Amino acid sequence: MTTSSPAVRKDVVIVGGGPAGMAAAWQLRDRDIVLLEQNDVLGGRTKSHSRGDYWLNLGAHLFPAAGAHVRNLMADLGLETVEVPGSKTAVSFEGPRGRKVYDARRIESYPFTLPLSAADRAQLVRAGLTVRLKVRSYLAASRPQPGETAAQRRDRMARFDGDRTFEALLGRLPPSVDAIFRTATRRVPAEMDELSAAAGISIFAGNWAGRASGSPVNLMGGSGRLGEAVHGRLGERVVLGAQVSSIEPDGDGAVVRLTTAEGRSTIAARHVIVATPAPVARSLVADLAPEVDKALGSVAYEPFVSMAVLTRETGPMPWDDIYAILTPDLSFNMLFNHANPLRGTSARANGGSLMCYAGARLAREVIGLPDAEIERRFRQDLGRVYPQLADLVTEAVVQKWEHGNWFQTPGSDLDALLRYREQPANVVHFAGDYLAAVSGSVEEATTAGVETAHAVAAALTRC
């Protein structure tokens, strides 16, 4: 595609091809739009590689039940999902007799099944009860109130125990118990002394929400199928390898300056949707009001590093019925079995697909290392979780993500940004998972993209 000169305006330019940007572009597909993405594929953290019967997921992989915005997008695109039947609460834990995978299915039983001292069991029970009671309050508070708008609900939930850290909520814990909760929060990714109590509680809410919240799914063929499908449908309205340098409000529109393989260019637009991580958005948009700039600056992220591996087993393995394993005291904090959704759907095929995930501090420790060194460390610890894996890995792909999901901190204050979004005269709009109440996800990013697109569509209609 050849980008336009400022004399010829697009209706909408969307900057950023992750879930928020893709959702916004899809909603506005009947308008004159262009979607700019700096990478060579759409999808953001929904990235994967196809490998025969399997796929290598490198980022987001769990999607919510039917009815969610991201599921609606998948349905529009004709994408197939598959349920995740395996356990999502297994723990690989070091005891006096070595490391073992515990799969109790109900996390309430872990104080009685993990190899802990009597004192540590009591502390795990205390901390678990604290979380359980807070989850109950959180789930009750999250129910929409009669006549409440989505914005009002978000504002209310953002004030649910958001002024202290998750670490402060739990109090002092013995090292073995602290390791369990600290490892769990790194899935966000965040550290316990960074994220708010509410954001920490939200991690565990899904475990106790029951079937009422629906079963999560994977995208058949890998999470990257989402970006492929959006690109396939939008065609030349997608520009990959587009490095945006600035977004400048200009009268009743805005000017986007960018560089592609064809050189420098400029696109004028009636509206611009900035669907990038908050620090990137903050650096791109000119003449931000100080209070909006400050709000974007309060958005917190931690990195994560993943390693997807293809395996070559020729029969059933002990992890076949497990989807997610918490792995305290290793170089990665989660191990995911992305072949699990395929087990039971047909005869078990040879091989498999796993993903190691290191978030927050664990990611910071390795993100600057060469991929080969990260692979060495992760493969070494894979063998500590399941010794069989030492000789089964045939391929490993390392992926570094500078920005994980947004998470609320006690210092988060997005009120000015939320007020800005309500102003109908805006020509520059923001969309990202940081517009959620307490923590981000693919669904929260998609929701932000859909809502922002609706606001832009309404503004275009008024003109």
Amino acid of residue 462: R
What pLDDT is recorded for position 177?
98
> What are the structure tokens assigned to 104, written together?
């109790």
**C-alpha to C-alpha distance for 237 and 117, rounded to whole angstroms:** 60
Residue 101 CB neighbours (<10 A) = 18
**C-alpha to C-alpha distance for 459 and 123, rounded to whole angstroms:** 55
- 463 contacts: CB under 8 Å, gap ≥ 6: 270
CATH architecture classification, 48-65+81-86+302-401:
Alpha-Beta Complex (3.90)
- 343 contacts: CB under 8 Å, gap ≥ 6: 85, 86, 320, 321
CATH topology assigned to domain 9-44+224-299+409-462 = FAD/NAD(P)-binding domain (3.50.50)
What pLDDT is recorded for position 151?
84
Residue 66 CB neighbours (<10 A) = 13
Q: Are 176 and 120 in contact (CB under 8 A)?
A: yes
Tell me if residue 142 falls in helix, strand or coil.
Answer: coil
Alpha helices per DSSP H over 142-174: 150-157, 166-170
Q: Phi/psi at 35 (nearest 5 deg)?
A: -110, 120
The residue count of the chain comes to 463
Q: Are 414 and 300 in contact (CB under 8 A)?
A: no
| 57: β partners | 48
| DSSP string computed for 355-399 | EEEEETHHHHHHTTS-HHHHHHHHHHHHHHH-GGGGGTEEEEEEE
Domains of the chain, residue spans: 9-44+224-299+409-462, 48-65+81-86+302-401, 108-210
Alpha helices per DSSP H over 298-360: none
Pick out the chain residues at pLDDT < 70. Answer: 1-8, 208-214, 463
Considering only CA atoms, which of 198, 64, 179 is closest in space to residue 131? 198
On the CB side of 9, CA atoms within 13 Å amount to 15
> What sign for the dihedral angle of Cα 78, 80, 83, 84?
negative
Tell me if residue 439 falls in helix, strand or coil.
Answer: strand
What pLDDT is recorded for position 296?
97
- 305 contacts: CB under 8 Å, gap ≥ 6: 332, 357, 358, 362, 363, 366, 367, 374, 398, 399, 400, 401
Terminal CA-to-CA distance of the chain, rounded, Å? 27
Q: Are 323 and 84 in contact (CB under 8 A)?
A: yes
What pLDDT is recorded for position 9?
86
**C-alpha to C-alpha distance for 321 and 370, rounded to whole angstroms:** 33
- pTM of the prediction? 0.95
What pLDDT is recorded for position 212?
53
Q: Are 70 and 442 in contact (CB under 8 A)?
A: yes
Q: Are 93 and 115 in contact (CB under 8 A)?
A: yes
Q: Are 298 and 414 in contact (CB under 8 A)?
A: yes
Please report the beta strands in 65-127, taking only residues with DSSP state E, as ranges in sequence order: 81-83, 90-95, 98-102
